[in-house]
Chain A
Amino acid sequence: MDVEILSRIQFAFTISFHYIYPPLSIGLGLIMVIMEGMYLRTGEKVYEVMTRFWTKIFALTFGIGVATGIVMEFEFGTNWATYSRYVGDVFGSALAAEGIFAFALESGFLGILLFGWNKVSSKVHFIATIGVWLGSMFSAVWIVIANSWQQTPTGYHVVGEGLEARAEITDFWAMVFNPSSVDRLTHVWLGAFLAGAFLVLSVHAYYILKGRFVELSKRAFKIALIVATVFSLGQLFTGHHSADGVAKNQPAKLAALEGHFDSLAVADMYILGWVNKEDQKVSGIKIPGGLSFLLYQDFETPVKGLNAFPEDERPSAINAIFQFYHIMVAIGMFLIALTLFASFQWWRGKLFEQKWLLKIFVLVVLLPQIANQVGWFAAEMGRQPWVVYDLLRTSDALSKVVTANQVLFSLILFTIIYALLFGLFIYLLNKKIKHGPNEEPLIDKRTHQKEMANIFKNN
């Protein structure tokens, strides 16, 4: 295999593995903030116990997230040196901002979140929890801006020619608010909230079914259910906005998402299907003119298809992109239906009586994770053959001095380490869940505990 494909596999592998963890941290962070906020408001011990339980799981996901995150930053330089030279001027400020505003905030307060329960007042601890969560939110901001700039570059100009060419920033805010960054950021945030919320739902549904920590679990389940319902619905809007943006800014990607080949014709929308690239046909269940309607609110408006673009300027793995996109959409729809149904049962007062519903919640924990992964696959593969859309080809972005053997070495290294890491993660996650929240009273060295709770209550 050549350097290009090996480097692409390595980047895809390391970033996919990494992306299991940050969405969990962002989502769990939100839920921990709500739980701890409830504790400060009500002063009820049960909320503190659940916050501490989820903090432990958060620590696990956060630790692996940080350790696997540095890898991609280094890979820009090691494997994608030409890309680094090309985008450094533009991309650099987003990355620098991420480091200084997001990571430092997260990691700085993490020590207090994890080890400070007995060292600081509950109010300061709450601030630390918010700090860590905001830090994780910010890191999503800057990295999604950087990636969005690769999808829809603005606020730059190209200097130099041929191999010397590179992009230079001309307008910072135009770079930050490039046409796709806001839509994609909200989509990513909500996806992360769902990943966290569904983990909480799954674990507490499991406890309720097993008859353990039942009272605590019912309350935690309701908190997470509200989060999951609101943001499953919200994902419909952010997703729709993203698709509109893709249609406007990256028509070749949009055509690939729906397997739309005709250069200018009414475009259908598929519920599910299979793309045959050779005869340019999609077989499956479709809504005729559905894509045209979605984009232009009219079943008759023609949409640009793949054939409108030169062969070497459109993505090649059409069926894979089509499938990834449709899996994401299908999961999104299912989660909306599920959370709405569960909320309805809650309203009827029968939420925890439906054993089968709780069993479904135990299992669906994987779905938001899968949706997050395949959504990114579709977004990144749909941008090919470009690494920066319409500016820099992936094949030109490599490090010229790195050989296939070197990349093979590091790829094998990461495969072994990540396999080990994943095994350990699952083992420890399972162990923590089996052990459950610690309801024993804690040795409390804090002094202002009660007073703080009262202040919040009286306001």
Chain B
Amino acid sequence: MATFLGLDYATWWFLLVGGVFSGYAILDGFDLGAGAWHLFFKKEKSRRIALNAIGPVWDGNEVWLVIGGGALFAGFPVVYATLFSAMYIPFMLFLAFLIFRAVSIEFRSKEPMLWWRKMWDISYSLASIMLAILLGVVLGNVLQGFAIGADMEFQGHWLSFINPYAIMVGLTTLALFMMHGAIYLLMKTEGRLYAKLRLLLKRGIIFFIVMFSITSLYTLIYIPHLSDDFKNNPALFIFPLLAFLSIANIPRLANKKKYHSAFIFSSITVAMLLILVAIELYPVMLLSTLGEAYNITIYNAASSEKSLGIMLTIAAIGTPLVLAYTIFVYKTFAGKVELDETSY
């Protein structure tokens, strides 16, 4: 296969898809986290401020998922087909909650009645929580592996996506996003809501550290194949080490009220955890529990070299553009939230 800067095209696409999904997890992660906290805010004004903190950006953040899905479809159609058809129910539920979240944000502010706003508050928060958990459930299943046969098709039961490990990873994802979201909101708020969030963030950090420890322990004991690469190549230990240091940095910075720095480190944490996943999986993308020969890897799943090359060109042209106006939008709306007549 053709290479670019010493890496073959399939590996580039693995990195690219991973990069876009990391971007999605960092960006929509704080939206979902903020949504998960929503019902903890009791005052109408606090809820509006929290909603408007993500108001101008959540839609753009969701687009990263569309791009990630497109990149996965384009780069690895076999993975896309097998994964999505194997995880039919979780993906359909995910879509349903995605619609509910969008609709709740859009419609909440359109009527002043108390019951109306309460209804959308509940649906917004529930949808955010479920989206975070479902993302984790899919990730948990990917980590464990699927019953994939010789025809590259899933052979398991349609309900097998529900299992202890998947739920554990789901809750860990929720905890991670809640911590990340609370930090984001702290950057965007002041006054009473800010004081309340400081308290909530402490609980969020504890929730995350507990869930993360349990899941890591379970992984090490019961899913040994997920630490193979680290055992075989001790140099790679630098990555889990960095992940731990990054996590440890968050409570330290939060105590000093340095929320911008804390946000950078919670973003790095999200990325580092996904990098750990990527290192362990590569070059496998979907692990078969029926035998190594049936694994779906970046090589037997990738599009043709020609196609990958074309799409790399597209990505090379497009990515700087996307980054440029993403940064422009965040700069425009930087600072604390002020409600005005265009707000939600």
Which chain A residues have a beta carbon within 8 Å of chain B's beta carbons?
Answer: 59-60, 63-64, 66-71, 73-74, 76-79, 81-82, 84-85, 87-93, 95-101, 103-112, 114-120, 131, 159, 163, 166, 168-170, 172, 399-403, 406, 409-410, 413-414, 417, 421, 424, 428, 431, 442-443
Nearest-neighbor residue (CB-CB) of A170 within chain B: B306
* Contact status B95-A71, CB under 8 Å: yes
| B306 neighbours in A (Cβ, 8 Å) | 168-170
* Contact status A99-B342, CB under 8 Å: no
User: How many angstroms from the CA of A88 to the CA of B106 in the assembled complex?
Assistant: 34
Q: What is the distance, in angstroms, from A382's C-beta to the closest C-beta of chain B?
A: 26
**A116-B332 contact, Cβ under 8 Å, with A73-B66, A107-B59:** yes
| B89 neighbours in A (Cβ, 8 Å) | 406, 409-410
* Contact status B70-A98, CB under 8 Å: yes
Task: Give the residue among A59, A87, A88, A101 with the most B Cβ atoms within 10 A.
Answer: A88
| A89 neighbours in B (Cβ, 8 Å) | 77, 303-304, 307
* Contact status B82-A92, CB under 8 Å: no
Which chain B residues have a beta carbon within 8 Å of chain A's beta carbons?
Answer: 55-57, 59-60, 62-63, 65-67, 69-71, 73-78, 80-89, 91-96, 98-100, 102-103, 106-107, 110, 151, 153-155, 158, 303-304, 306-307, 310-311, 314-315, 318-319, 321-322, 325-326, 328-329, 332-333, 340-343
Task: Give the residue among B82, B84, B93 with the most A Cβ atoms within 10 A.
Answer: B84
With A88-B73, A421-B103 given, can you name 11 additional A-B contacts, CB distance below 8 Å? A66-B63, A73-B73, A79-B85, A81-B82, A99-B71, A100-B315, A103-B63, A104-B318, A111-B59, A401-B85, A403-B158
* Contact status A110-B59, CB under 8 Å: yes
Nearest-neighbor residue (CB-CB) of B97 within chain A: A417
| B107 neighbours in A (Cβ, 8 Å) | 424, 428
Cβ contacts A to B, 20 pairs, < 8 Å: A66-B59, A67-B103, A69-B66, A71-B95, A73-B66, A84-B73, A88-B78, A96-B71, A100-B322, A101-B321, A108-B328, A112-B332, A114-B342, A115-B56, A116-B56, A168-B303, A399-B84, A399-B88, A401-B155, A428-B107
- What number of A-B contacts does a CB cutoff of 8 Å give? 240
**A96-B86 contact, Cβ under 8 Å, with A108-B329, A169-B304, A169-B310:** no
User: How many angstroms from the CA of A64 to the CA of B322 in the assembled complex?
Assistant: 23
| B59 neighbours in A (Cβ, 8 Å) | 63, 66, 107, 110-111
Nearest-neighbor residue (CB-CB) of B315 within chain A: A100
* Contact status A118-B340, CB under 8 Å: yes
User: How many angstroms from the CA of A97 to the CA of B71 in the assembled complex?
Assistant: 9
| A77 neighbours in B (Cβ, 8 Å) | 69, 73, 80-81, 83-85, 91
Contact among B81, B311, B322 for A93, CB-based, below 8 A: B311
| B76 neighbours in A (Cβ, 8 Å) | 88
User: How many angstroms from the CA of A93 to the CA of B92 in the assembled complex?
Assistant: 24
| B333 neighbours in A (Cβ, 8 Å) | 111, 115, 119
Task: Give the residue among B60, B81, B83, B151 with the most A Cβ atoms within 10 A.
Answer: B81
Q: What is the distance, in angstroms, from B137's C-beta to the closest C-beta of chain A?
A: 15
Nearest-neighbor residue (CB-CB) of A67 within chain B: B102
Q: What is the distance, in angstroms, from A169's C-beta to the closest C-beta of chain B?
A: 5
SS of B interface (majority): helix
Q: What is the distance, in angstroms, from B198's C-beta to the closest C-beta of chain A?
A: 27
Task: Give the residue among A96, A115, A399, A414 with the most B Cβ atoms within 10 A.
Answer: A96
* Contact status B319-A90, CB under 8 Å: no
Contact among B84, B88, B106, B315 for A406, CB-based, below 8 A: B88
* Contact status A115-B341, CB under 8 Å: no
Nearest-neighbor residue (CB-CB) of B90 within chain A: A78
* Contact status A76-B73, CB under 8 Å: yes
* Contact status A68-B99, CB under 8 Å: yes
| B110 neighbours in A (Cβ, 8 Å) | 428, 431
Contact among B56, B307, B322 for A92, CB-based, below 8 A: B307
Q: What is the distance, in angstroms, from A227's C-beta to the closest C-beta of chain B?
A: 26
Q: What is the distance, in angstroms, from A156's C-beta to the closest C-beta of chain B?
A: 10
User: How many angstroms from the CA of A105 to the CA of B84 in the assembled complex?
Assistant: 27
Contact among A116, A168, A428 for B304, CB-based, below 8 A: A168
User: How many angstroms from the CA of A406 to the CA of B189 in the assembled complex?
Assistant: 44
User: How many angstroms from the CA of A84 to the CA of B86 in the assembled complex?
Assistant: 14
